[in-house]
Chains A and B, each alone.
Chain A
Amino acid sequence: MVAFIIRRLIQSLFVMFFVALVSFSMFQFIGDPVNQMVGVETSLKERAELRERLGLNDPIPVQFFNYITDAVQGDFGISYQQKRPVSQMLVERLPATLELSLISALFSLLVGIPMGVYTGLNRNGFLAKCFLTISLIGISLPTFLIGILLIFFFSVTLANLQPISIFGLFMLDPKIFQLPSFGRGTVVDLGWWTTGLLTVDGLKALIMPSITLGLFQLTLIMRLVRSEMLEVLRTDYIKFARARGLRNRAVNFGHALKNTMVPVITITGLQVGSIIAFAIITETVFQWPGMGQMFLQAVTNVDIPIMAAYLMLIAFFFVVINLIVDMLYYVVDPRLRIDTGKGSGHG
């Protein structure tokens, strides 16, 4: 097992090296950083000097070598725009992105799996059909549109509604359901991590972005669980289990659901990676101060140090998540444990 992890970590170094190489060869096509760094009155001569000092005139392989040499020592350079160390900026932004990704992944799992099981068990139920129809929205609408629609309703419309009288008993002010349209709300600084999970408006601020980000995954997981459930429920061992007189609950959850989990884990794992990576759009719509938003700004401003570091970090995340997914297989699927035993015996 340890050898396996080490092997995978070494692989991850190759992946990151390759990502850095590919991104560096792309950077020469995205524009001139110097124009974004200086004001209009800076002379051509000064621009040329700055370009020279930044090493932008060196051949790409040389630039790449210099970058990798520094990166290996943990130095990812200084942001061209904000003139601060990139590693420090990423560390500041990391909590926002990870918190958002984690919450939306949890949201899609905790809602998606039960919905999938339900629709799998009650194929023709009215509610199941409703779930499936609604889930089409999650697949077909683009993320930014969902975000904007949520903002429109929960931030703008609710803010401008008059209090409603409920059966003449009490007045309900719709504004109490109003959600913030941008930002993280109040965050608590734990020194090494900033979290919005400990304050009321921090939690409120999380609701819309995580639904927006998680809706697609929710749909995916629900449909996956449903089709796997339908598949498994037809197998002989389920029939046998029923024939033995096991209770429905034991059959459905103890036997059927557990056996649907291998593909669900694979997909979820890969999706967690893409949630982190594609949080970019959600972060932009909600002005969520995460890494994705920073990356997008870096692209607009040709801030090469930020782009390079971000891409490598995302590559690293994907590798780590895949590693975790592989390890989870061992937990849910006993056959794999036996296979590895044999395999390592040969090795």
Chain B
Amino acid sequence: MKVRNSVDRDKFGSTKMRKFMMATVAAAAMSGAVAAAPVNAETLRWAFQGDAQSLDPYSLNETFTLGLLGNVYEGLIRRGPDLQIQPALAESWEIVEPTRWRFKLREGVKFQNGNDFNADDVLFSADRVRAEGSDLKTRLAGVTDIVKVDDYTVDFVTESPNPILHYEWATWYIMDKEWSEANDATAPTDVTAGKENFATRNTNGTGPFMVTERETDVKTVLMPYEGWWDTPTHNLTEVVFTPIGSDSTRVAALLSGEIDMMYPVPVQDMARLEGDSNTDVLAGPELRTIFLGMDQEYDELLYSNIKGKNPFKDIRVREAFYRAIDIEAIKQKIMRGLATPSAIMISPFLFSRSDEIERLPYDVDMAKKLMEEAGYADGFEVGMDCPNNRYVNDEKICQAVVAMLARINVKVDLLAQPKAQYFAKILRPKRDTSFYLLGWTPGSFDSWNVMYNIIGSPEEGGRGKFNVGGYSNARFDELTDMVLSETDADARDAMIAEAFKILHEERGYIPLHQQGLAWGKRSNIELAQRADNQFMLYYVTKN
């Protein structure tokens, strides 16, 4: 099988090679004698359900795009297999003043085109990531000034003390100033400008792999970069990435050995891959929390038979909904074990004191009693919005919730739509929903992100941007602001814990579970599965 693979594919690895081969290939192929490359066990073929949208590292703040590029580009820091922060292009850093961070850059690092890496590239990248068209402007939110101290030292000055300044910098990739300028790619692609940017399809990073061939949505070939500053632990000589959108085809390709690794594994196929002696499934918790939101902002519930008031403003109704949901059933029957029930709005992985809050137990009788007390013994009607192609089994979860709420006489009218229509309907400014399912991964791996975006009181400046239900608590907002600038870790955790307790006591949201992630691989592949669902090629070994 391996022989077949190596015989048939990729004789024309690079574009140059392809042109060269063009003339001779027809004759060779006709005689069935395409020259076989030596059997090469170190080519890794892998597939994901989609492709990176662009190779420009600032064009889209999305897990897969940034994950793929993380093999080519590097940030000042990087995340290890357990997401711990490690030095990368910065060797070390210190806080010289509460609002001034000093980063000592690594010397002797070269970009893949041979250019030297130095402070100018960091300054350039800082400008570029904040330019029009960049989707990663928040990476430097709150940074007021960036000072080049010398060629290998850079100071970041912030508006106020920020203990997690560098948390998201593992995906703020440093680009080469000279290369970008030479190729007229000094700003990220702006769709409205009407022309393609050189960086959309070309890369020049400092990372362990180089992109040697790129056909969007078809194939991306990467080769190890010999001049990488770090010692490689992988044993790959070539990596071929192919997007395969259809779930069953992706599973089939892994079973047949055409690819070595793929993700995500559809939950219904996990048993099958585990049952096959040649394939394994790696399952683990992901950082994404799935939860239900209830509208507490409108004075009258939308899509309901209740007129003139909003039952969700009553804490008893919210609690009844919470208690009516049988989270274990969802975990077992719908997620087939690939989920961890959750009591707070952030992964326990990312907040040390998360075990202080427990889920309200599933209790239909109590839920009924609460509904009765609130004056809705006969229940009411409510519309529910749900995506059907965004999260693992999202639509099925919603259907289960509908059935569970029927037990407390709530009649839910479910509208499950593709994400494009779903988000347009529920998100601000339209906010056309009363009851919805959403998932969230804090990009910074930190609670503040969740508190500010999902739970904070909605306001113009950006707070509560994804707080669709409009939950609002003044103390919570106060704590959110304090968390942002508190530099003492213990005090900070105490504030976060207090905030999450307030939310829990007020039943502002119904957290459901941490969605699991499942990767499939051939048995001869060793790799590290990171909880942020990024696949790092430099942890891979092929036996």
Cross-interface CB contact of A300 among B189, B197, B418, cutoff 8 Å: B418
Q: How far is the CA of A38 from the CA of B62 in the complex (A)?
A: 8
- Pair B60/A39 contact, Cβ less than 8 Å: yes
Nearest B residue (CB) for A180: B258
- Pair A300/B466 contact, Cβ less than 8 Å: no
- Pair A77/B194 contact, Cβ less than 8 Å: yes
Known contacts A40-B61, A83-B196, A201-B8: A35-B135 contact under CB 8 Å: no
Known contacts A189-B19, A201-B8: A289-B423 contact under CB 8 Å: no
Interface presence of A108 (CB below 8 A): no
- Pair A82/B53 contact, Cβ less than 8 Å: yes
Interface code A40-81, partner B: CB below 8 Å = 1, 0 otherwise?
Answer: 111111101010011000000000000000000001011011
- Pair A175/B428 contact, Cβ less than 8 Å: no
Q: Please indicate the chain A residues that have their CB under 8 angstroms from the CB of B191 in the complex.
A: 37, 50, 54, 78, 80, 83
Known contacts A38-B61, A178-B4, A200-B8: A44-B462 contact under CB 8 Å: yes
Interface code A100-131, partner B: CB below 8 Å = 1, 0 otherwise?
Answer: 00000000000000000000000000000000
Q: How far is the CA of A319 from the CA of B66 in the complex (A)?
A: 43
A residues 170-196 touching B (CB-CB < 8 Å): 175-176, 178, 180-186, 188-190
Q: Please indicate the chain A residues that have their CB under 8 angstroms from the CB of B11 in the complex.
A: 186
- By Cβ-Cβ distance, the 9 closest A-B pairs, closest first, are A39-B61, A31-B420, A32-B424, A201-B8, A159-B256, A31-B421, A53-B192, A289-B218, A83-B189
Q: Chain B interface: which of A133-141, A149-157, A243-251, A271-279? A: A149-157
- Pair A181/B253 contact, Cβ less than 8 Å: yes
Cross-interface CB contact of A84 among B18, B196, B250, B440, cutoff 8 Å: B196
Q: How far is the CA of A273 from the CA of B189 in the complex (A)?
A: 36
Q: Please indicate the chain B residues that have their CB under 8 angstroms from the CB of A11 in the complex.
A: none
- Pair A198/B428 contact, Cβ less than 8 Å: no
Residues on B close to A: CB < 8 A?
A: 1, 4, 8-12, 18-19, 22, 25-26, 29-30, 32, 34, 47, 50, 53-54, 56, 59-62, 135-138, 189, 191-192, 194-197, 200-201, 215-219, 242-246, 248-250, 252-253, 255-258, 278, 389, 418-424, 427-429, 440, 443, 453, 462, 465-466
- Pair B258/A198 contact, Cβ less than 8 Å: no
Interface presence of A266 (CB below 8 A): no
Per DSSP, chain B at the interface is loop
- Pair A156/B255 contact, Cβ less than 8 Å: yes
Q: Please indicate the chain B residues that have their CB under 8 angstroms from the CB of A54 in the complex.
A: 191-192
Minimum distance in angstroms from A299 CB to a CB of chain B: 8
Q: How far is the CA of A180 from the CA of B242 in the complex (A)?
A: 13
Nearest B residue (CB) for A189: B18
Minimum distance in angstroms from A288 CB to a CB of chain B: 10
Interface presence of A308 (CB below 8 A): no
- Pair B29/A199 contact, Cβ less than 8 Å: yes
Query: 11 A-B Cβ contacts within 8 A?
Result: A31-B421, A40-B443, A44-B465, A77-B194, A83-B200, A84-B201, A159-B1, A178-B4, A182-B249, A286-B249, A287-B244
Minimum distance in angstroms from B464 CB to a CB of chain A: 10
- Pair B258/A182 contact, Cβ less than 8 Å: yes
- Pair A285/B246 contact, Cβ less than 8 Å: yes
Q: How far is the CA of A85 from the CA of B191 in the complex (A)?
A: 10
With contacts defined as CB atoms under 8 Å apart, how many contacts are there between chain A and chain B in the complex?
A: 193
Cross-interface CB contact of A287 among B8, B196, B246, B255, cutoff 8 Å: B246
Cross-interface CB contact of B421 among A30, A152, A156, cutoff 8 Å: A30
Q: How far is the CA of A185 from the CA of B242 in the complex (A)?
A: 11
- Pair A160/B244 contact, Cβ less than 8 Å: no
Q: Please indicate the chain B residues that have their CB under 8 angstroms from the CB of A184 in the complex.
A: 218
Size of A's binding interface in residues, CB under 8 A: 69
Interface presence of A23 (CB below 8 A): no
A residues 293-347 touching B (CB-CB < 8 Å): 293-294, 297, 300-302
Interface presence of A36 (CB below 8 A): yes
Q: How far is the CA of A31 from the CA of B10 in the complex (A)?
A: 39
- Pair A175/B4 contact, Cβ less than 8 Å: yes
- Pair B246/A284 contact, Cβ less than 8 Å: yes
Q: Please indicate the chain B residues that have their CB under 8 angstroms from the CB of A159 in the complex.
A: 1, 255-258
Q: Please indicate the chain A residues that have their CB under 8 angstroms from the CB of B258 in the complex.
A: 155, 159, 180-182
Interface presence of A132 (CB below 8 A): no
- Pair B242/A287 contact, Cβ less than 8 Å: yes
- Pair A287/B249 contact, Cβ less than 8 Å: yes
A residues 189-235 touching B (CB-CB < 8 Å): 189-190, 198-202, 204
Cross-interface CB contact of A35 among B54, B201, B420, cutoff 8 Å: B420
Q: Please indicate the chain B residues that have their CB under 8 angstroms from the CB of A82 in the complex.
A: 53-54, 200, 216
- Pair A152/B252 contact, Cβ less than 8 Å: yes
Interface presence of A270 (CB below 8 A): no
Q: How far is the CA of A85 from the CA of B197 in the complex (A)?
A: 11
- Pair A81/B218 contact, Cβ less than 8 Å: no
New contact pairs (7) apart from A84-B216, A183-B218, A293-B245, CB-CB < 8 Å: A37-B191, A45-B462, A77-B194, A183-B219, A188-B18, A189-B19, A289-B215
- Pair B8/A185 contact, Cβ less than 8 Å: yes
Nearest B residue (CB) for A83: B189
- Pair B255/A160 contact, Cβ less than 8 Å: yes
Known contacts A185-B8, A186-B11: A200-B34 contact under CB 8 Å: yes
Q: Please indicate the chain B residues that have their CB under 8 angstroms from the CB of A46 in the complex.
A: 137
Cross-interface CB contact of B22 among A32, A190, A204, A286, cutoff 8 Å: A190
Interface presence of A262 (CB below 8 A): no
Interface presence of A148 (CB below 8 A): yes
Q: Please indicate the chain B residues that have their CB under 8 angstroms from the CB of A92 in the complex.
A: 215
- Pair A85/B256 contact, Cβ less than 8 Å: no
Q: Please indicate the chain A residues that have their CB under 8 angstroms from the CB of B189 in the complex.
A: 83
Minimum distance in angstroms from B139 CB to a CB of chain A: 9
Nearest A residue (CB) for B63: A39
Minimum distance in angstroms from B133 CB to a CB of chain A: 9
Central interface residue in B189, B201, B258, by most chain A CB within 10 Å:
B258
- Pair B216/A156 contact, Cβ less than 8 Å: no
Q: Please indicate the chain B residues that have their CB under 8 angstroms from the CB of A50 in the complex.
A: 191-192
Q: Please indicate the chain A residues that have their CB under 8 angstroms from the CB of B419 in the complex.
A: 36, 300
- Pair A41/B428 contact, Cβ less than 8 Å: no
Central interface residue in A77, A81, A82, A284, by most chain B CB within 10 Å:
A82
Q: Please indicate the chain B residues that have their CB under 8 angstroms from the CB of A83 in the complex.
A: 53-54, 56, 59, 189, 191, 196-197, 200
Minimum distance in angstroms from B334 CB to a CB of chain A: 23
Q: Please indicate the chain B residues that have their CB under 8 angstroms from the CB of A89 in the complex.
A: 216
- Pair B135/A38 contact, Cβ less than 8 Å: yes
Q: Please indicate the chain A residues that have their CB under 8 angstroms from the CB of B60 in the complex.
A: 37-39
Nearest A residue (CB) for B30: A198
Q: How far is the CA of A182 from the CA of B136 in the complex (A)?
A: 34
- Pair A41/B249 contact, Cβ less than 8 Å: no
Q: How far is the CA of A328 from the CA of B9 in the complex (A)?
A: 41
Q: Please indicate the chain B residues that have their CB under 8 angstroms from the CB of A160 in the complex.
A: 255-256, 278
Minimum distance in angstroms from A34 CB to a CB of chain B: 9
- Pair A183/B242 contact, Cβ less than 8 Å: yes
- Pair B252/A30 contact, Cβ less than 8 Å: no
Minimum distance in angstroms from B92 CB to a CB of chain A: 28
Known contacts A37-B191, A39-B62, A300-B389: A182-B8 contact under CB 8 Å: no
Q: How far is the CA of A79 from the CA of B404 in the complex (A)?
A: 42
Q: How far is the CA of A31 from the CA of B61 in the complex (A)?
A: 20
Q: Please indicate the chain A residues that have their CB under 8 angstroms from the CB of B465 in the complex.
A: 43-44
Q: Please indicate the chain A residues that have their CB under 8 angstroms from the CB of B250 in the complex.
A: 182
- Pair B246/A300 contact, Cβ less than 8 Å: no
